[in-house]
Structure 1
């Protein structure tokens, strides 16, 4: 069954129930009108989560819409996606080239066969890299415009929500966007995320919190810095993955410098960040930390 056939069947069943797209999608928390439109016209293959929602509204089993075997996501793709999620680049040109090669591999071998949610994940991951490498906040603007409002309706975030949030805060950092109620609500929700069963999600929660820290530094807002950095450390201790520890130590050093609280502690954290990045063989980040340390301790 093709995407178009699936879409036609969903549209037929929806109209038979007398439901407009707006009524079908309700508050659009699970499915937006725009997303339903793309599914019904065959432009996107829905994920299992969206199919489950659609089947629930139609009051039929998923099997009446699609053979679930059609949307099994290839393991090879998932391995590449996981590497993109967990790898830090810190301006390392070799890692940037490696990631570009991964994106090319995904586009060539997997993208067209992926369900919509996975295609979005790839697009957001690419936009994050583009923003980070170019320092141009215009990348990914369309993704934010389309999906951010839907995200604001949620309190628990899935992988794509966290990717969108990571992109959002990177863009806010470059634009020096002031803190508002949107930020406060998201920040509170992020700190409440306690599900450690999904490894990619917990890594992304760390990335989002780190992007929040960058945002704080850029707008010179330090009130929540200790709480925020403590949240990352708790996750690191829980999952015993220390890849981001040098980054946290670096931010601790900058916090104590910027707030003029304790230069001895700042120097100690600088040295921890340098030694940690050396142990992780992250030369690019180590060199950056040394450069910042020399500026603050000439």
Structure 2
């Protein structure tokens, strides 16, 4: 049984776990001074709501995690959620059954006791599976109708916002009719800087969302800003040593190259085609063939 901590203990433990000094948390001290933080951690003063929100943002955690009645999430649940997020939507169909098993375990053993934010995350993950398994975007509608409008108003995203974005982008990937260039450009621009606001352990999922975002743009014949986002993704992959999406990134680079130097692109594509087939990405290859037939003769839109 996890022992409940005081607000000050929660703040102090999270800060140290993330390797942050008090000075790093307080920044320019406009919102919170180092002296005030020391007093909060020692339990010598009570925080205002504004300071709680500031600390949650600075520590990169949901607001509820700073509450004194907060109970740490079960390790097995955290592992299952990680496995669900780690195996992205661009993967072989055999992953569906595995993902469904992970979700069943969560619903059976943990869901009812989870905080609301975590329940939302699980529900979005369930929608992912349903859309991925059926190829029908209707299974993502409920979650998007409830939460997408909120995400659209933001420029800085937490992990649940990224979960909603991944669901949204995958629905766009499957159904071009949902594509809105203005909304798409807003999200593409915002994704460029999101690593500055996320804990390093969540950057792998930012990469996943960015890869899906790029796929949506290319699939819809939209090119503006995609080259920059590709460079950003490759930088993040190198920074985190996370290369699971590299074959797809190579294919996306090939799509852009195809419009500029066709012969080079054809040679490159043959190599990429082999590597993607070996790891079960036939769906991605099929989408590429559809894209090539639709856009290669008329080019991508630049704006």
State TM-score, norm by structure 1.
0.68
Work out whether 1:285 is the aligned partner of 2:273. no
Structure 1 partner of 2:41: none
Structure-2 change in CA distance of 1:240 and 1:246 (3 Å): same
Q: How many residues align?
A: 236
Structure 1 partner of 2:158: 158
After superposition, give the CA deviation of every residue in 1:134-164 in whole Å (9 maximum; x if it has no partner): 2211112121121122223322111100000
Are the equivalent residues in 2 in contact too, given 1:176–1:218 (CA < 8 A)? no
Structure 1 partner of 2:225: 224
Structure 2 partner of 1:273: 272
After superposition, give the CA deviation of every residue in 1:249-269 in whole Å (9 maximum; x if it has no partner): 111222333x2x112332354
- CA distance in 2 between partners of 1:233 and 1:88 (Å): 17
Alpha-carbon RMSD: 3.3
Q: How does 1:125-204 map to 2 (within 5 A)?
A: 125-173=125-173, 174-195=175-196, 198-204=199-205
Tell me by how many angstroms 1:83 deviates.
0.8
Structure 2 partner of 1:253: 254
Structure-2 change in CA distance of 1:229 and 1:105 (3 Å): same
Structure-2 change in CA distance of 1:200 and 1:231 (3 Å): same
Tell me by how many angstroms 1:110 deviates.
1.0
Are the equivalent residues in 2 in contact too, given 1:144–1:168 (CA < 8 A)? yes
Q: How does 1:50-129 map to 2 (within 5 A)?
A: 50=64, 62-63=67-68, 67-68=69-70, 71-88=71-88, 90=90, 92-129=92-129
Are the equivalent residues in 2 in contact too, given 1:121–1:163 (CA < 8 A)? yes
**Structure 2: where are the runs of 5+ without partners?**
1-48, 55-60, 293-303
State TM-score, norm by structure 2.
0.67
**Structure 1: where are the runs of 5+ without partners?**
1-24, 31-46, 53-61
Tell me by how many angstroms 1:80 deviates.
0.7
Q: Helix, strand or coil: the match of 1:176?
A: helix
Q: How does 1:12-23 map to 2 (within 5 A)?
A: none
Work out whether 1:49 is the aligned partner of 2:63. yes
